[in-house]
Amino acid sequence: MPRTNTKKISQIIETDFLVIGSGVAGLRAALELSSHGRVLMVAKGGPQENSTFFAQGGVAVALSEEDHVDLHFTDTIKAGHQLCRKPATKALVQEGPARIEELLSWGAKFDKIKGKLAFAHEGAHSRRRILRAGGDAIGSEMVRVLTACARQQSTITWIGNQFSIDLLVLDGQCCGAIVLEELTGKLKLILASATVLSTGGAGQVYARTTNPGSATGDGMAMALRAGAVLEDMEFVQFHPTALYLPSSPPFLLSEAMRGEGGRLRNNKREFFMKRYHKDRELASRDVVARAIWSEMEATKARHVYLDVTHLSASFIKKRFPTIYSTCLRYDIDITEEWIPVSPSAHYWMGGVHTDIHGATTLPGLFAAGEVACSGVHGANRLASNSLLEGLVFGLRSAQSAVDFSSDHTIPSLSLREIGNWPKSPTKPVRDTEKLRNSLRRLMWTKIGLVRNGDVLSKAVNQLTRWEKMLGQTSLTRTNMETRNLIEVARCTAEAALWRENTIGAHFRKDFPNAKGLNWKTHSQSHRPLKTTDFPLTIKRAK
């Protein structure tokens, strides 16, 4: 990668709408925007480098004969420990069925039984409501369908290997982004009348995560630097069952495995979930993840086991083909052996605060999907609600971006006006990989499933030091991702320190009660916008 200390922005591109990110929310937004103007979609890496693509379990939707949107609503609010925003949750469950029907009409192939959609069961759902595809590969099917539709729209341009560095803020309004072309190191400015962020989560902040390597919190960090408010950053969902092997990454073992009857055993071979919750393996994720954590502590083990060996081998291979073959690659035949599992960071419930229409607190900036905090997940996301959220709020954010653009035109800005950027010298970070490693370890051990005030304070101090160190890092993808990870980590740690109660995914050993003063208040992270280099802020004379 070239050092870009003295580099200038060399190209300005204009578009009506800029969409950053290529998962379900971004694709759904782009499709809606495409009938209102030119849409430029940029993403780092390639079309499969997003969390949607790897989603296994499914998409929750109240479409079965035994289900109703009110039940889906109640389950979501209950799993979120009463911290979900009700109007947003209503929109999710009420508009969800139409978004799924639409996807079916576009050619989505969801699994069926006797010609009817098959609905699976997952934790904390009172009905079988999870649609799946290819057994355990819903994400790639959704990306396939949405991408195929997007390809048919002449107004959508998709460019990969474009790393968004910062949002452009002109006169207090988001007007696009500065982008690094990863392969050439060229800097570009994309000017747009409205920008939709759909960059996903930040699982790479943790030593153990089910997320792909691309989940480095870029959108959250960019929005923060641009002056937008982040919300509920303390709520990070740890998936109870990720593969635990010294030789493997923490590959996800879908909750659907427990939905189909998979049981958890500790290293004394005991089924232990009955000691923690009446719903046992199908209690909500925060409950199951912490129960596993307790068992691991009590038995001094690094993992527990997921046991599906009582299910028939042919069923397992058909229902979980990806999981079966992946585990086999790591020398575990799940039809015959118990699978070593432990919790892993999985999903960010918090993110860039949006209203019910996907608008952030920064005019011109909209957000949808995991990068956003629309309020539908509260303190703990109900399993399989996130793909639905991507569809519903991808569309909603696009609709409000269209409204916004009807009285905000694309700004005009010349290369001469921009001048040199960044304005102050940048310095390369010597050992980014080492720093990332220390960060991942710090987050996992100090701001993980079990938290404590003293430890959190020290972690915040450490993260603040690292953040200062990386302030003006040189413009390479690795350096900038590291800076983003650290900024997101710091917001998470600060919010976790601020929240002095135990609720949902946030467990404070020193504040074990669920309700205390202000327990219903949502935490907010906000940095005053500095008129310096990051982000590019230009205040023009009127």
The Cα 248–Cα 332 span in angstroms is 11
Active site residue 151: no
| Stretch of residues binding ligand SIN (CB under 6 A), selected from 28-36, 45-53, 378-386, 459-467 | 378-386
In sequence order, the β-bridge partners of residue 167 are: 177
> Is 52 among the residues that bind ligand SIN (CB under 6 A)?
no
Tell me the closest approach of the beta carbon of residue 101 to ligand SIN, in angstroms: 20
Give the DSSP letter string of 219-261: HHHHHHHTTPPEE-TT-EEEEEEEE--TTS---B--HHHHHTT
Out of 225, 258, 285, 508, which one is annotated catalytic?
A: 285
Residue 76 is a binding residue for ligand SIN (CB under 6 A): no
Distance, CA of 23 to CA of 17 (rounded, Å): 17
Which of the residues 252 through 271 are near ligand SIN (CB under 6 A)?
254-256
Which residue number, 24 or 442, has a Cβ lying nearer to ligand SIN? 24
CB of 57 or CB of 250, closer to ligand SIN: 57
For residues 296 to 335, the per-residue mask of contacts with ligand SIN, x marking binding by CB under 6 A and - elsewhere, is ----------------------------------------
What SS3 string covers 423-441? CCCCECCCCHHHHHHHHHH
Dihedral pair phi/psi, residue 336, rounded to 5°:
-125, -20
- State the residue number with the nearest CB to ligand SIN: 57
Identify the residue among 40, 383, 447, 455 touching ligand SIN (CB under 6 A).
Answer: 383
Candidates 225-233, 300-308, 383-391, 533-541; binding stretch for ligand SIN (CB under 6 A): 383-391
Token readout for 102 is 């639409």
- Length reported for the chain: 542
Q: Give the nearest distance from C-beta 497 to ligand SIN in angstroms.
A: 26
Q: Which H helix or E strand runs over 33?
A: helix 24-33
Binding mask 334-363 for ligand SIN (x = CB under 6 A): -------------x----------------
Residue 254 or 523: the one with the smaller Cβ distance to ligand SIN is 254
- In terms of CB distance, is 256 or 379 closer to ligand SIN? 256
Residues 228-257 interacting with ligand SIN (rule: CB under 6 A): 254-256
**Least distance from C-beta 2 to ligand SIN, angstroms?**
38
The per-residue b/e assignment along 66-87, b for 16 or more CB within 10 angstroms, e otherwise, is ebebebbbebbbbbbbebbbee
Closest approach, Cβ 361 to ligand SIN, in A, equals: 27
Number of residues counted as binding ligand SIN (CB under 6 A): 9
Comparison of 132 and 490: residue with beta carbon closer to ligand SIN: 132
The amino acid at 355 = D
Q: Does 111 contact ligand SIN by CB under 6 A? A: no
- If binding is defined by CB under 6 A, does position 57 make contact with ligand SIN? yes
CA dihedral 411, 414, 420, 423 (to 10 degrees): -20
Should residue 384 be labelled a site residue for ligand SIN when binding is judged by CB under 6 A? yes
The structure tokens 């990332």 sit at 436
Cis peptide before 535 (omega within 30 of 0): yes
- Written as one letter, the residue type at 79 is A
Which ranges constitute the DSSP H helices of 217-345? 218-225, 255-259, 285-298, 313-319, 321-329
Nearer Cβ to ligand SIN (92/383): 383
By the rule CB under 6 A, 56 interacts with ligand SIN: yes
Closest among 197, 123, 135, 122 to 164, alpha carbons compared = 197
- Angle between helices 477-498 and 218-225 in degrees, nearest 10: 80
Cβ 268 vs Cβ 299: under 8 Å: yes
Residues lying near ligand SIN in the complex (CB under 6 A): 56-57, 254-256, 347, 383-384, 386
Q: Kindly list the catalytic residues.
A: 285
